[in-house]
Chain A
Amino acid sequence: MNIRSYVIIKLKELEWSTLIFVLLLSTSGLLAIYSIEAQHESSSEYFFRQSIWTVVGIGLFLTAYFIPRKVIHNLTYPAYGAGILLLLIPIMTKSGNEVSRWITFGSIGIQPSEFMKIFLLLALAKYFADHKRKLSNIKELMTPVAMALGPTILVLAQPDLGTALVYFGILIVIIFWAGIKPLHFFLLLAPIVSMLAAFQTLSFFIWMGLIIIILYFNHLPFWTKILNFFINVGLGGITNLLWALLKPYQQQRILSMIDSDSDPLGAGYQVSQSLTAFGSGGPFGKGLGEGTQTHLKFLPEQHTDFIMTVIGEEFGFVGVMVVITLFYLLIARLITQAYNSKFRFDSVILIGIASIYIFHVFVNLGMIVGIMPVTGIPLPFISYGGSFMVTSMILAGLSANMSSVRRAVG
């Protein structure tokens, strides 16, 4: 097959709806940034930069779409290795106690942790594609867990709790998708629930009771049951120690989610202002450029993590619903394609991409309305920021690539 016919086949196979969803979402982000700047920034620097990133992103979308599957498959592990090295750079060059998430080239800064999402996803997909057996033995999980743990620890060192949770989220969904037994899945997730439950005595005891019942009614070696039980009890026990290890601002973020008014000028301030912006937007919004909350600088970070507040305040519930619907259609399609895919590699990549989108969309849209902690998770395609825009676009291109292969004879 020559290149020309490959391109023609690929163009025919391209699901234009994915590209359209992506373009619509990027456009609404640009609109929001434009609205902020039109009001009071003297320059339109953010709008200009984000437009460039969008164009670059679309280029990368197409690149990711046209790269042959085989090439991706072969580059997976080297890319993962390179990603780890990139993550090490900010840590090595870190000065003092500064938070370092960036590698800078002149005026452009990139966040390697964003690209690592792609590399981790690919590496996990390759691992599960190469080991086609069903995950019947919990030992087979060692390698993928280690793959995710490496970058997770590196971003935690930055420290970037949000991104670490994204990596972990990708792993969980992929393991589930790859066919882990429900009991194993339960035993894998149980320690996390144990730690969360440990914050409250009653919930901890109820949870421990549930673990005992499930362990009792399943066929597992006796010592495995005992070991599992004590791992959960033990982790619950050291939760308070781990909590103390969190940076105060991370603790505050989690606490301020519980009561956003408790510290109106701290982490809760943003959320409390964000609620006001959304609430005052009402059903139809105040109109483009008319938002008072966002434009009078009541909201910091408004063009990055809190970008949706502009859309909410100016376009109202209707505007928010349009964005949410676009995301839903985009993600639901990915899940369906992952299910329909006949290839393990493709299927895992598709579900991994879906998991990244779900995580980002739910955590971002949740945190700005106070139902998730403020973790600095941007909204795909909409939030200002080059690295994540590019990452989201590449993921979208990859997803289009992976779903097209089901028809292209490979």
Chain B
Amino acid sequence: MLQGRNIVEGWRSLLVHGLLALLFLILIGRYYYLMIVFHEKYAEKATANHIRAVPVLASRGVIYDRAGNLIVDNAPSYTISVIPIEVKDKPESLERLSSVMEISVEEINRRIVKNRRGSFAPAKVFSRVPFEKISHLQEHRLELIGVTYSIEPIRNYVSDLDLSHALGYTREINRDDLNRFKKDSDYQPGDQVGWKGLEKFYESELHGQRGFRYIEVNALGQEIGEVQDRAPINPIPGHDLILSIDSYIQFVVEKALADSSGSVVILNHKTGEILAYASRPGYDLEMLSGRISSKDWNSLMQDPRKPLYDRGIQGLYPAGSTLKPLAALYSLENHSNAKERTYLCRGSYRLGNRSFGCWKKVGHGKMNLHDAVQQSCNVYFFNLIQDIGLEDWAHIAREFGFGEHANIDIPGENKGLVPDTKYMNRKYGQNKWTKGNLLNIVVGQGDVLVTPLQLAQFAGMLAQRGTQFEPHFVNKVVSKNGDVIEENISQSNDRVTASKDSWDFVHQAMWDVVNGKKGTARAARQKDWDIYGKTGTAQNPHGEDHAWFIGFSLDERFPYSWAVLLENGGGGGGKAAPLIGKVLRNIAKRTS
């Protein structure tokens, strides 16, 4: 049986040897790459695998009014979470949870996917769970493997004041924001984040910084114990806000507003502090915080009274006659005979073949500047604007803060509109617009659009003789141990300069609006302090006109300026001036 030569050709043997060597070299290369080249990366991963950082939530900063009364704080709320890996092969857990919470398994799975932070980390599926449900879950916890609950702080609205638009609300962070905040990696899915108003504007101050406990876990996600050589990181609570809001004034404003739609802004013109801020209708903050049902959301969205719309900073209205002091001031500064000029008001003004009416159909008769402001005579200003260029008017309007952001410390502010030559050319075409447009503008109609906040600021600048303090809601940001982190002190800007004489004249005219026999805002008059004001009508093509009343007090005790807008509140101040009258009486009552 012995054969002289090998039964297999040498090349076949070599080829198999070569194949063996090649396969083993591939293996060695792969292991080298894994275990030597990328050792550090995997070592980190291994640590992350078995040490779970359990977040400890930081409590969100609370909000006080100017006197330190609590407006918003936090209350405990039960949250139910699911650990994805533990329920993966246990549909019965989710079915049980679904029957207790009365919601479909598909919806629960959808929320798990949405809030997933990893296989072992609890994914939030229900927030604000009533205590009965929690105790029910407790009873059935053996059938609910992988389902956990925790106590999380949620917003608690302590005060009854309706500051919904100013405060805003918090909601669960969405994917977009999560990606946006990525560099500031403190945010995780399921976190509450400021969504509107002050909650949003001061998010970084209020949020705080979460802490961590380090726990060793096995692959089943079972906790083995605290990691010994890694100290927990304590959470840093968010800072508190101290608002400029005066709860008492806010309260009397809200009471005076009752059910009307509109907006009231009252500010301290010497500091820019907003003392009262109402936008009606408001909404239920409790309902909007956290998870809101789509039914509730749709009903809010479709409500014809637009409760989600913050009229104070977003509502754009024609300013109406409240802008007349602006043209008056211009005239006083630029026309040497401003005080003496008279125009005859016969109830309307003709331009070409068009007629522009005064609100007083029978006419005011012979009018001078003072009387025209006091009695809000349109015809007088129709005549006056012929001597004022659009550019000059627009310039002074912008100096009073119209057409620009007031830089209020809540998001979403509208700029409004101050038409100038460029704008009019763009809108109507080069030279296609006429003096007629100008007539509308000077009485605050047509293209001019303002917000209630801008008018309150305008009133404040009139009171301060051209000096502006940027309005703000927050006076101080204070840390939990009382350190002042940030203090809002508005700088004064002398934006409009005019002679003392001119200011005195405007003040006198506005005093007479409230106190004079023929004034249009006599309802705002106060017994023992001087109120200055100007009424206005915002023409509303959809219904009854909106009523404006702006004004200020120069009383040392009450350096307040305001703007009131009552939707469908009638012309010439309508119900707006009486509303302020009531509010001011109540303010005076408090101090007496």
Q: Which residues on A are within 8 Å of B, measured CB to CB? A: 173, 176-177, 179, 264-265, 273, 275-283, 292-293, 296-299, 312, 316-317, 320-321, 324, 327-328, 331-332, 335-336, 338-344, 347, 351, 354, 358, 362, 365-366, 369, 371, 410
| Contact residues of B between 1 and 36, Cβ < 8 Å to A | 1-3, 6-10, 12-13, 15-17, 19-20, 23-24, 26-28, 30-32, 34-36
Q: Which of A177, A292, A296, A320 is in CB contact (< 8 Å) with B12?
A: A177
A279 and B49 within 8 A (CB): no
Residue of B nearest to A285 (CB): B35
Q: Does B119 contact A (CB under 8 A)?
A: yes
Tell me the smallest distance from the CB of A51 to a CB of chain B, in Å: 27
Given the interface contacts A280-B42, A339-B8, does A328 sit within 8 Å of B24 by beta carbon? yes
Answer yes or no: B43 CB below 8 A from chain A CBs: yes
Complex CA distance for A279 and B31, rounded to whole angstroms: 8
Q: A366-B27, A371-B26 are in contact. Are A281 and B35 (CB under 8 A)?
A: yes
With A179-B9, A296-B50 already in contact, 17 other A-B pairs whose C-beta atoms are closer than 8 Å: A176-B15, A179-B8, A265-B84, A273-B219, A279-B35, A280-B39, A280-B47, A324-B28, A324-B31, A328-B20, A328-B24, A339-B13, A347-B7, A347-B8, A358-B19, A369-B30, A410-B1
Binding site for A on B (CB under 8 A): 1-3, 6-10, 12-13, 15-17, 19-20, 23-24, 26-28, 30-32, 34-36, 38-39, 41-43, 45-47, 49-50, 84-85, 88, 119, 216-220, 224
Closest 9 CB pairs of A and B: A279-B42, A280-B46, A339-B13, A296-B218, A298-B219, A297-B219, A317-B35, A282-B39, A280-B43
Contact A173 B36 (CB under 8 A): no
The residues of B that contact A321 with a CB separation of less than 8 Å are 28, 31
By the criterion CB–CB under 8 Å, are A282 and B36 in contact?
yes
Shortest Cβ gap from A371 to chain B (Å): 6
Separation in Å of the B577 CB from the closest CB of chain A? 68
Given contacts A177-B12, A317-B36, contact A331 B43 (CB under 8 A): no
B88 contact set on A, CB distance < 8 A: 265
Please state if A283 and B35 are interface contacts (CB–CB under 8 Å).
yes
**In contact, A279 and B41 (Cβ under 8 angstroms):** yes
Q: Inside 8 A of A292's CB, which chain B residues have their CB?
A: 46-47, 49-50
Known: A275-B34, A276-B46. A297 touches B220 (CB 8 A): yes
B22 to chain A, nearest CB (A): 10
Asked if B16 contacts A351 (CB within 8 A), the reply is yes
Q: How far is the CA of A297 from the CA of B50 in the complex (A)?
A: 10
Min CB–CB distance A92 → chain B (angstroms)? 31
Most buried by A among B2, B16, B41: B16
B46 touches A358 (CB 8 A): no
Taking CB as reference atom, which chain A residue is nearest B31?
A: A320
Task: Provide the bound-state CA to CA distance between A282 and B41, in Å.
Answer: 10
When the two chains form the complex, which single residue of A276, A299, A320, A341 contacts B7, counting CB atoms closer than 8 Å? A341
A-B contact pairs, 27 of them (CB 8 A): A177-B16, A265-B119, A278-B31, A278-B35, A279-B39, A279-B46, A280-B45, A283-B35, A296-B49, A296-B217, A316-B35, A317-B35, A324-B27, A328-B20, A335-B16, A335-B20, A336-B13, A338-B13, A339-B13, A347-B7, A351-B16, A354-B16, A358-B23, A362-B24, A362-B27, A365-B31, A410-B1
| CB <8 Å contact, B39 and A283 | yes
Say how far A377's CB is from chain B's closest CB, in angstroms.
Answer: 14
Structural contact, A324 and B2, CB atoms closer than 8 A: no
Q: Are A332 and B12 in contact (CB under 8 A)?
A: no
Q: Chain A contacts of B47 at CB under 8 A? A: 280, 292
Asked if B27 and A365 sit within 8 Å, CB to CB, the answer is yes
- Number of A-B residue pairs at CB separation under 8 A: 140
Q: Given A296-B218, A321-B28, A324-B28, answer yes or no on A277-B20 (Cβ-Cβ < 8 Å).
A: no
Q: Which residues of B contact A298 (CB under 8 A)?
A: 49-50, 218-219
For the complex formed, measure the closest distance between the CB of A379 and the CB atoms of chain B, giving whole angstroms.
Answer: 12
Q: What are the residues of chain A within 8 A of B220 when measuring CB–CB? A: 297
**Does the CB pair B34–A279 fall under 8 Å?**
yes
Name the one of B8, B50, B84, B224 contacting A338, with C-beta atoms under 8 angstroms. Answer: B8
The smallest beta-carbon distance between A341 and chain B, in angstroms, is 7
Residues in A neighbouring B10, C-beta threshold 8 A: 339
Whether B1 and A335, one on each chain, are in contact in the complex, defined by CB atoms closer than 8 angstroms, is: no
Task: Collect the chain B residues with CB atoms within 8 Å of residue A282's CB.
Answer: 35-36, 39, 43
User: Are B20 and A331 in touch, CB under 8 angstroms?
Assistant: yes
Q: Which residues of B contact A277 (CB under 8 A)?
A: 46
A61 to B30, CA, bound (A): 32
Q: Give the distance to chain B from A34, nearest Cβ to Cβ, in Å.
A: 20
CA distance A353 to B24 in the complex (A): 17
A265, B119: Cα distance in complex, Å = 8
Complex Cα spacing A204 to B258, Å: 79
- Contact check, A293 vs B49: say whether CB atoms are below 8 A apart: yes
Cα distance, A316 to B42, chains bound together (Å) = 13
Expressed in whole angstroms, the Cα–Cα distance for A328 and B43 within the complex equals: 29
Q: CA of A371 to CA of B32 in the docked complex: distance in angstroms?
A: 14
A265 touches B85 (CB 8 A): yes
A281 to B49, CA, bound (A): 14
CA distance A342 to B4 in the complex (A): 8
Contacts of B27 in A (CB 8 A): 324, 362, 365-366, 369
Using Cβ atoms and an 8 Å threshold, which residues of chain B touch A283? 35-36, 39
- Residue of A283, A342, A354 with most partner-chain B CB within 10 A: A342
Complex Cα distance, B12 from A335, in Å, reads: 10
CB distance from A126 to the nearest CB of B (A): 15
Q: Chain B contacts of A173 at CB under 8 A?
A: 16
Rounded to whole angstroms, the CA-CA distance of A331 and B16 in the bound complex is 11
Shortest distance from the beta carbon of B46 to any chain A beta carbon, whole Å: 4
Nearest CB in chain B to that of A264: its residue: B119
Complex Cα gap A338–B8 (Å):
9
How far is A281 from B50 in the complex, measured between Cα atoms in Å? 15
- In whole angstroms, how far apart are the Cα atoms of A404 and B43 in the complex? 47
Q: How far is the CA of A408 from the CA of B30 in the complex (A)?
A: 42
> Are B36 and A342 interface neighbours, CB within 8 A?
no
> How near does chain B come to A364, taking the closest CB pair, in angstroms?
10
Among B7, B39, B50, the residue within 8 A (CB) of A342 is: B7
Interface centre among A275, A276, A299 (most CB of B within 10 A): A276
Residue of B nearest to A293 (CB): B46
Residues of B within 8 A of A316 (CB): 35
